[in-house]
């Protein structure tokens, strides 16, 4: 039995598929040649999800660390003249309504 099968064949072979999955295999179910499902052991799925979440947590940790290292003063700021020009533009737009 291959690791990929159609929905029709999977229906007929469900007990065998479950035995293979219990033995640690993954079985992909296809419809019209396209994968639509993968049957895996629940503990395998939990481990994959946990691994993904740990990767997400690592990325968040790295972003936080990066934010802590960067000072706000290293960012470009508006000069007083630029701020006044922007404010004048806002006032002009509001008064033209």
Average pLDDT over residues 10-28: 95
Q: Does residue 74 or residue 79 have the better pLDDT?
A: 79
pLDDT, one tens digit per residue, over 25-57 is 999 999 999 999 999 999 988 888 888 888 889
pLDDT at 1 over 60: no
DSSP the chain: --SEEEHHHHHHTHHHHHHHHHTT--EEEEETTEEEEEE--HHHHHHHHHHHHHHHHHHHHHHHHHHHHS-GGGS----HHHHHHHHHHHHHHHHT-
Q: Does residue 74 or residue 57 have the better pLDDT?
A: 57
pTM: 0.51
């Amino acid at each position: 039995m291959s690791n990929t099968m159609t929905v029709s064949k999977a229906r007929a072979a469900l007990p065998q598929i479950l035995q293979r999955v219990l033995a640690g295999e993954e079985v992909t179910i296809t419809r019209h040649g396209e994968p639509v499902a993968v049957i895996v052991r629940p503990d395998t799925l939990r481990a994959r999800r946990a691994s993904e979440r740990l990767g997400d947590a690592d990325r968040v940790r790295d972003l936080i660390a990066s934010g802590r290292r960067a000072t706000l003063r290293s960012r470009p700021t508006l000069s007083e003249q630029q701020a006044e020009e922007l404010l004048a533009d806002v006032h002009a737009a509001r008064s033209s309504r």
